[in-house]
Amino acid sequence: MEYRLLDDTGDLGIEVKGEDFSKLFENLGNSIYDIMLKREDVFISKIERDTLKEDSLEDLLIKFSNMIIYKLECKRFVGKIVKADFKKSKKFFVVDYKIFGERFVPSRHFIKNVFKAATYHNFEMVEDEKYKKVKIYFDL
Amino acid sequence: MSYKEFLKRVDENKVVIPKGSFEGMRVDCEIFLNREIEKYLEEDSVKQLVNVSKLPGIVKKSLAMPDIHSGYGFPIGGVAAFDLKNGIISPGGVGYDINCGVRCIVTDLKRNDLKKCIKELLTKIFLEVPSGIGSEGSLRLKKNDLKRIVLKGAFWAVENGFGDDRDLESIESNGCLKGGDFECISEEAIERGISQQGTLGSGNHFLEIDYVSEIFDADIAKKFELFENQIVIMLHTGSRGFGHQICSDYVSLFQKDLRKKGIPLPDKQLVYSYFNSDLGRRYYKAMAGAANYAFCNREIIGYMIKKTILKFFKVSQNDLKIELLYDIAHNIAKIEEYEIDGKKGKLIVHRKGATRSFPKGHPELKGIFKETGQPVLIPGDMLSGGYILVGGERSVEETFSSTCHGAGRTLSRKEAVRFSKRVNVFDKIKESGVFVLSQSNRTIVEEIPQAYKNVDDVVKTVRDAKLSFPVAKLLPIGVIKG
């Protein structure tokens, strides 16, 4: 998967890339799960799906990342595979997502890193012909 | 040219960047830092401090304590006060874990009493106080309970039998920040908060069983009923997912608002709104609600600890003293009164990784603390222990009554993991004799002592700068990491 970890004194950042925005959202979701837990321990017995929209791409990427944290804390849901479909309307940036996973079982799902919030700290978004790239830092 | 190159040392404990060094600075920047710990100062945290000095309505100076390190928007260890009429409020000046703070519980147990049973006792506490990722408490709260916690803070715990009413005057702001408003809090925050009351959480949160290893001020120690080899318990936690969600929600709302108004930011995390604006007021009310959630959380955990210890020793509370010494916040924004240019006025004081340090005689202090000054609780790393201090008079004029909050990180979590591959951390812990429990070995590795500054150097700076004065040193014998 196309991501790398970034150093920060307090917390942890990730740099993720994708060949288009849909792929970028998918890779972002999958990399958060990859850093958060051992994805091989997650079975697929449930699908979480929804649509998120924001008036900036930056806000949408942060909201999407925070949604994953919220799902673990409140819905006790962990994902194995994230699928995303990105659209841009006149006013909004929109992502439809599906997360394939299951209910979080503390004795079976080994949590490697606890994410508490996605932040705007040193947020960076770069686009070129080949890739869309984003850097997001997380409060741990 | 780097930001650090603009620093001028004005005395042994303070460096300054004068107003005018960078465009847009409204006030000087001051960092309380002695020469020993100056080497740890990061370029990024100085830049953040300069950014804070540019915010509208900032009063006197942009300050940092000796445990300064890079944060989100404000540096950790940052203190800034803003005019209530023309100044701003910023979630970056409070932090994600709103009212993260420390509680110190004193007992009349002695170090020897736990010599043979520390592992057993700590394990019992570990089982009773939920910790780790998204940990859920045994309390089953209803939405209406949460609404009352937002309004009443630690008082909710007391009125529901999870605390003692004598505790309230030993908690900063009596355990309740006025103005907490449920209407200003999102459904997501409510969902995250409803199951997490009475939980420690994860990351750098901890519960420590310490003993008093040294007394520095015998008179005050006597008034606090502290003595050498006495067992005390330090607890470090905050408003859990509730506070994080409130911070995330308002950072996003402030971003949109500033973008709409076309106001540029030097740092996207340094969002703000004028305190007198609708959005500013709403954030304050939500933040006060999260602060109250945290006061209540620490009161409930304190109650769980007391209950577990009494049960463990099969005694009643009349036979064994387990009492709250003090409970303080170190991530908060509060309305306080100060004299500026000869006139008294109210300011909104942001303390982000900084502790309030009211000296003796301060009108807000009650009981014994009016004679001694407010206890300041400073944890160090998990093997080096921490300090109990009291507020110093000089803090009022120098730092808006603030002092340090801990040792301050020097290594990132990733670097700490890398470092621990070279040194066997678990062997080192074993050698130290400190019994450590955690839901995750990863947390222990990330929180190794080498990841932090030496807390002794940090405390030496605030002592020499007369911001607060050491009363006792604590050393750990058992630690629960979140």
Whether the per-residue pLDDT at B1 is higher than 90: the answer is: no
- The residue-averaged pLDDT of B66-83 equals 96
Residue B236 at interface with chain A, using a CB cutoff of 8 Å: no
pLDDT of residue A78: 96
Distance from CA of B110 to the nearest CA of A (A): 36
Question: How are beta strands B14-17 and B8-11 bridged, if at all?
Answer: antiparallel
Q: Does residue A131 sit in helix, strand or coil? A: coil
* Residue in chain B lying closest to A140 (CA): B203
| pLDDT above 90 for B74 | yes
Of A9, A59, A63, the CB nearest to B70: A9
Whether residue A1 is predicted with pLDDT greater than 70 in this model: the reply is no
Higher pLDDT, B214 or B454: B214
Note whether B69 contacts A: Cβ–Cβ < 8 A: yes
Exposed, middle or buried, A107 (CB in 10 Å: 0-12/13-18/19+)? exposed
* pLDDT tens column, B83-116: 999 999 999 999 999 999 999 999 999 999 999 9
| Mean pLDDT across B354-380 | 96
Q: Searching chain B, which residue's CA lies closest to the CA of residue A6?
A: B414
Residues B359, B361, B366, B369, Cα dihedral to 10°: 50
Output the known binding site of B for GMP. 204-208, 330-331, 379-382, 405-408, 481
Kindly list the structural domains of chain A, giving each domain's residue range(s) and its CATH number in brackets, ordered by start: 3-139 (3.55.10.10)
CB contact under 8 Å between A114 and B241, yes or no, is no
Question: How does pLDDT run across B297-306, given as a tens digit for each residue?
Answer: 999 999 999 9
Tell the residue number behind the tokens 């506070």, with chain if given: B243
* Half-sphere exposure at residue B329, Cβ-oriented, CA atoms within 13 angstroms: 33
**DSSP E strands, B341-431:** 343-352, 355-356, 375-378, 386-391, 402-403
According to the model, what pLDDT value does residue B37 have? 92
What ipTM was estimated for this complex? 0.90
B269 and A120 within 8 Å at the Cβ level: the answer is yes
- HEC profile for B175-202? HCCCCCCHHHCCHHHHHHHHCCCCCCEC
Percent of chain B with pLDDT over 70: 99
Does any CB of chain B come closer than 8 Å to the CB of residue A35?
no
Q: Which domains are seen in chain B, by residue range?
A: 4-481 (3.90.1860.10)
Residue B442 — pLDDT band, cuts 50, 70, 90?
Answer: confident
Q: Give tens-digit pLDDT for A26-66.
A: 999 999 999 999 999 999 999 999 999 999 999 999 999 99
Reported as a pLDDT band with limits 50, 70 and 90, residue B5 is very high
Mean pLDDT of B469-473: 98
Q: Is the pLDDT of residue B422 over 80?
A: no
Of B20 and A12, the one with more pLDDT: B20
Query: Which pLDDT score, from 0 to 100, does residue A104 have?
Result: 94
Reply yes or no on whether B405 is catalytic: yes
**pLDDT band of B134, cuts 50, 70, 90:** low
Q: What is the pLDDT of residues B266-291, one digit of tens each?
A: 899 999 999 999 999 999 999 999 99
- Residues in chain B with CB shorter than 8 Å from the CB of A120 are 72, 251, 255, 268-269, 271
Are B430 and B361 within 8 A, CB to CB? no
Catalytic position from the list B69, B350, B362, B405: B405
Q: Which two tokens stand for residue B131?
A: 């910790």
pLDDT digits (tens, 9 = 90+) for B378-397: 998 888 889 999 999 999 99
Q: Which residues in chain A have Cβ-Cβ distances shorter than 8 Å to B440? A: 111
pLDDT at B133 over 70: no
Tens of pLDDT, residue by residue over B321-345, are 999 999 999 999 999 999 998 999 9
pLDDT band at B10 (very low <50, low <70, confident <90, very high): very high
Please tell me whether residue B75 adopts helix, strand or coil conformation: coil
Positions of E strands within B316-427 = 322-329, 331-340, 343-352, 355-356, 375-378, 386-391, 402-403
Question: Looking at residue B229, what is its pLDDT?
Answer: 98
In which band, very low, low, confident or very high, does the pLDDT at A9 lie, cut at 50, 70 and 90? low
pLDDT band (50, 70, 90) for residue A106: confident
The whole-number pLDDT of residue A10 equals 63
Residue B201 has pLDDT above 80, yes or no: yes
